[in-house]
DNA sequence: ATTCGACGTTGAAACGATTCACGCACTCTA
DNA sequence: TAGAGTGCGTGAATCGTTTCAACGTCGAAT
């Protein structure tokens, strides 16, 4: 059974095989690998030749088992297919590279169960820390993880507890920015395509929405049409618009989408229904992803410092590890910025 | 040193700790974990309680070290930020899930060195197989990997050798489709924003381009303006267009971009230069990513069966493992499809 | 009454690397 | 020439799990 799938060797060569071939002890081979300067030139060369001849590749499991831990951290984002999160991930990688850490990256697809599964997988693999954009309302799992010695930093959401750090953008402000803008254009009946309120970003942006409406003296009951979509992507947006247009009552004149991917789907559905943008429906997205400015109708959006977000989260995580008990937990918060384009403002 | 970063426990509990607490041997705990039906109810319950109380989490390293291998495969794509590849990855995941395999996903960013580094990392971690979209011209590293017992399937490129399987889309045909379309619209001077020829897709699409020109009786030297861009993304596209417009000589009336991300950047730069699309410049992309139909000028593109591509690659890999020596290497090839939109055809 | 198999459990031997106390052979110094 | 110091190398213990031969116990079959 084991020979069928193996080309040549029946078993990958171990450090012992290398030692035998080079005529040294395993300890010496290990030294060549990890402290080459403590080995004489001739011995080192002999070992390196043996490694080359046998095509020896270190066994990470054995290495890690003995060493106890390895320079790896995990990150779980809501949706790896969302350009916003890939840019965040790039920021994380850039910071980790400086300390020679490796990243295990996964997407929860907004499913708390998937999130939990990946967290367990990461833990079994002995990651030193995790960065998570939680998809569940509860932080219990993450707190337990922290108690088991794995550092945790929340990514793109503000921490509700004092003893877990977070790096986020002010989503309340972001939501308010979008609505203030639409209100300033004269809209008084606005649709809000939002995700489930188990996701913190959705809660916060909604809070900003409500606050901005109140500030403008508008009654949410009359001026806001909330549509909850299942997933924060193009399909969700399309679905949300279809439900909105099917519904009875006054059709809103403006729409705020919880992110740009959702807005993309919404625009597609609106176009399919022949709704003019922004004349019949003004649209605002969130994230200002790479293609937002290039759409049929350039998308007004709330911009966030993506790369910096990821970089800072990784920085916090690494500092938390290196500083140990001296580390002060903190909530880093960046400010969002509204980018006005044609999807909301014909004069833009 | 070790206590500073640990919350409570100084060391994560091992199977031995669980055994002690439950008053059984380590073998029994292992049995509870792996063959629960071979353990009596009362013992099993006692062990499970101990596991719960100690918050025991299996150590994947030890597990894998002893078991020799684990249900994991790796995948390396050219650019994780490209929606094309995230869709492919989704297809891979869907197939792997059926066999309870785990995926390690990485992006080479078209850098052969990064690719090699990730391959080594995967190998050290004992993956059973890898799916790779090669960024280097040479397959030596992959062949060596295969000889060391790790199955290899090429992803989104046709295998040049008989003993490595591949799943691809006919890129020669795809390139030809784009050019045939532009020629049929009357264009005789066409720009081709292509990536480096170390990347197989670029070579193949170029071959299709040249073949289609020849079929149309056009001399490439006169009708084709080749621009080589450094990276296959929006920045590359912008850069390519800037160089094209700065150059002397007849300006082409049409442009074929090696992928949609590149086309996005190209469109942005063209707009900045006030070039009308498609009147002054017709543009065709490749991949038909999610936002292609929604751009300022909807993008004509060559569509590929992304999800199926990934699914099939994973299927081939898993079958290769399970069938062993009986497995027949094969080159699966799907056909691309041209989707005509406004960026090339005003009547579309 | 003895033998047998089934069942549940044990305990020790792996897996492959790292680490560290120790030993050996030299050279240098007093 | 003894003693200290230095540079290299050794080999055994260790990490946490899985696996498997072996063992005790009990009920059924002979």
Q: What is the pLDDT of residues B143-159, one digit of tens each?
A: 999 999 899 999 999 99
Please tell me whether any atom of strand C lies within 7 Å of the Cβ of B43: yes
pLDDT tens column, B154-174: 999 999 999 999 999 999 999
Contacts of B295 in chain A (CB under 8 A): 291, 294-296
Residue A325 pLDDT grade (very low, low, confident, very high; cuts 50, 70, 90): confident
B148 with A61: Cβ contact below 8 A: no
pLDDT tens column, B251-292: 999 999 999 999 999 999 999 999 998 999 999 999 999 999
Measure Cα distances from A253 to A265, A266, A344 in Å.
Answer: 18, 14, 10
Instruction: Spell out which residues of B between 262 and 301 contact strand C, using CB within 7 Å.
Output: none
> For residue A246, with 0-12 CB atoms within 10 Å meaning exposed, 13-18 middle and 19 or more buried, which class applies?
exposed
Residue A324 pLDDT grade (very low, low, confident, very high; cuts 50, 70, 90): confident
pLDDT tens column, A64-76: 999 887 889 999 9
Measure Cα distances from A171 to A206, A287, A290, A316 in Å.
Answer: 9, 11, 20, 20
Give the least confident one: A10-14, B94-98, B145-149, B269-273.
A10-14
Footprint of strand D on the protein (CB under 7 A): A 24-28, 31, 38-40, 42-44, 62, 65-66, 68; B 11-12, 14-16, 26-27, 29-31, 33-34, 56, 58-59, 62-63, 65-67
Contacts of B296 in chain A (CB under 8 A): 294-298
Residue in chain A lying closest to B104 (CA):
A104
Question: What's the distance, Cα to Cα, between the start and end of chain A in Å?
Answer: 68
Which pLDDT does position A347 carry in this prediction? 85
Q: How many CB atoms lie within 10 A of CB B182?
A: 29
List all nucleotides in chain D with at least one atom under 7 A from a protein Cβ.
7-21
Residue in chain A lying closest to B13 (CA):
A148
Which pLDDT does position B347 carry in this prediction? 86
B5 with A105: Cβ contact below 8 A: no
Residue A249 pLDDT grade (very low, low, confident, very high; cuts 50, 70, 90): confident
Contacts of B72 in chain A (CB under 8 A): none
Residue B175 pLDDT grade (very low, low, confident, very high; cuts 50, 70, 90): very high
Contacts of A63 in chain B (CB under 8 A): 124
A268 with B148: Cβ contact below 8 A: no
Which pLDDT does position B1 carry in this prediction? 33
Nearest-CA residue to the C1' of C12? B27
Protein-to-nucleotide distance from the CA of B27 to the C1' of C10, whole angstroms? 7
pLDDT tens column, A28-49: 999 999 999 999 999 999 999 9
Closest to B72 measured CA to CA, from B150, B135, B18 = B150
Please tell me whether any atom of strand C lies within 7 Å of the Cβ of B46: no
CB-nearest to A295 from B125, B294, B324 is: B294
Tell me the backbone φ, ψ of residue B336, rounded to 5 degrees.
-80, 170
Which pLDDT does position B324 carry in this prediction? 82
Which pLDDT does position A179 carry in this prediction? 97
What is chain B's mean pLDDT, rounded?
Answer: 92
- Counting residues of chain A whose pLDDT is more than 70, the rounded percentage is 97
Whether the Cβ atoms of residue A254 and residue A190 lie closer than 8 Å to each other: yes
Q: How many CB atoms lie within 10 A of CB A27?
A: 10
Whether the Cβ atoms of residue B302 and residue B133 lie closer than 8 Å to each other: no
pLDDT tens column, B27-36: 999 999 999 9
Q: Which domains does chain B have, with CATH numbers?
A: 15-58 (1.10.260.40), 66-168+306-333 (3.40.50.2300), 171-304 (3.40.50.2300)
Question: What's the distance, Cα to Cα, between the start and end of chain B in Å?
Answer: 68
Q: How far apart are CA A331 and CA A162, in angstroms?
A: 9
- Above 60 in pLDDT, residue B3? no
Give the least confident one: A87-96, A298-307, B8-17.
B8-17
Which pLDDT does position B10 carry in this prediction? 66
The DSSP annotation for A118-164 comes to HHHHHHHTT-SEEEE---SS--HHHHHHHHTT-EEEEESS--SSTTS
- Above 90 in pLDDT, residue B250? no
Minimum-distance nucleotide, CA of A28 to C1':
D9
Residue B334, helix vs strand vs coil = strand
Nearest-CA residue to the C1' of D20? B27
Protein-to-nucleotide distance from the CA of B47 to the C1' of C12, whole angstroms? 21
B65 with A59: Cβ contact below 8 A: yes
- Above 60 in pLDDT, residue A137? yes
For A94, residues 6+ apart whose C-beta sits below 8 A from its C-beta are A307, A310, A311, A314
pLDDT tens column, A172-229: 999 999 999 999 999 999 999 999 999 999 999 999 999 999 999 999 999 999 999 9
Nearest-CA residue to the C1' of D13? A66
For B35, residues 6+ apart whose C-beta sits below 8 A from its C-beta are none
Q: How far apart are CA A331 and CA A333, in angstroms?
A: 6
Which pLDDT does position A341 carry in this prediction? 94
- Above 60 in pLDDT, residue A63? yes
Give the strand order in the sheet containing A282-287.
A224-228, A190-194, A254-257, A282-287, A300-303, A337-339
A296 with B291: Cβ contact below 8 A: no
Contacts of A4 in chain B (CB under 8 A): 324-325
What is chain A's mean pLDDT, rounded?
Answer: 92
Q: How far apart are CA B37 and CA B47, in angstroms?
A: 13
> For residue B208, with 0-12 CB atoms within 10 Å meaning exposed, 13-18 middle and 19 or more buried, which class applies?
buried
A45: left (phi over 0), alpha (psi -120 to 50) or beta: alpha
pLDDT tens column, B4-25: 333 334 678 999 999 999 999 9
Contacts of B64 in chain A (CB under 8 A): 61
- Taken in order B335, B341, B343, B344, is the CA torsion positive or negative? positive
Whether the Cβ atoms of residue A196 and residue A228 lie closer than 8 Å to each other: yes
């Amino acid at each position: 059974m084991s020979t069928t799938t193996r080309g040549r060797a029946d078993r990958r060569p171990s450090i012992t095989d290398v030692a035998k071939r080079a005529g040294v002890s395993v300890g010496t081979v290990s030294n060549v690998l990890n402290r080459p300067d403590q080995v004489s030139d001739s011995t080192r060369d002999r070992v390196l030749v043996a490694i080359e001849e046998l095509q020896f590749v270190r066994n990470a499991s054995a290495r890690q088992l003995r060493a106890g831990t390895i320079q790896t951290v995990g990150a779980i984002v809501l949706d790896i297919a969302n350009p916003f999160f890939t840019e965040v991930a790039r920021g994380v990688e850039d910071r980790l590279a400086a300390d020679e850490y490796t990243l295990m990256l996964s997407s929860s697809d907004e499913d708390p169960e998937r999130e939990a599964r990946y967290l367990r997988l990461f833990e079994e693999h002995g990651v030193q820390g995790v960065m998570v954009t939680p998809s569940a309302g509860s932080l219990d799992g993450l707190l337990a993880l922290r108690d088991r010695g794995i550092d945790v930093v929340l990514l793109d959401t503000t921490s509700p507890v004092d003893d877990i750090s977070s790096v986020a953008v002010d989503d309340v402000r972001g939501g308010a920015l979008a609505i203030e803008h639409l209100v300033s254009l004269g809209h008084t009946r606005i649709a809000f395509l939002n995700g489930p309120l188990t996701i913190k970003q959705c809660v916060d942006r909604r809070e900003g929405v409500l606050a901005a409406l109140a500030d403008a003296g508008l009654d949410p009951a009359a001026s806001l049409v909330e549509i909850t979509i299942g997933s924060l992507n193009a399909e969700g947006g399309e679905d949300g618009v279809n439900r909105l247009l099917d519904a009875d009552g006054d059709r809103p004149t403006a729409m705020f989408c919880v992110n740009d991917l959702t807005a993309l789907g919404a625009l597609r559905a609106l176009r399919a229904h022949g709704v003019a943008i922004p004349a019949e429906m003004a649209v605002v997205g969130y994230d200002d992803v790479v293609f937002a400015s290039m759409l049929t109708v350039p998308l007004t959006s709330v911009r966030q410092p993506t790369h910096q977000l990821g970089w800072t989260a990784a920085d916090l995580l690494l500092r938390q590890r290196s500083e140990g008990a001296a580390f002060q937990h903190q909530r880093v918060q960046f400010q969002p910025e509204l980018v006005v384009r044609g999807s909301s403002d014909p004069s833009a």
